[in-house]
Amino acid sequence: MTKDIEETRALNNKRDQVEAAVEILKTAMGKQKVDIGISALMSYLCMLAYHNGYPLDKMVAYMATLYEMHGAKNK
């Protein structure tokens, strides 16, 4: 039970850190072009995924999908 509580607290702390970072990015990038803000957010998410051991091959696949979606939208 104690382990579950500790894991829940750790996850909540990480979520709070991510939410705070996103708010900082929104404030800092609010007057920038949308592409620059999205790039900053994606860079932060990639860094976060890397530091938390998320498989990089999945990150690359997601990034490729986003790139393809962006390219299809702009044709």
Alpha helices in 1-75 (DSSP H): 2-29, 34-51, 56-73
Neighbours of 39 (CB within 10 A): 13
**Predicted TM-score (pTM) of this structure:** 0.50
What confidence tens digit (pLDDT) does each residue in 13-70 have? 888 988 888 788 778 777 777 777 777 778 888 888 888 888 888 888 887 887 788 7
- In the prediction, which pLDDT does 3 show? 82
pLDDT band at 74 (very low <50, low <70, confident <90, very high): low
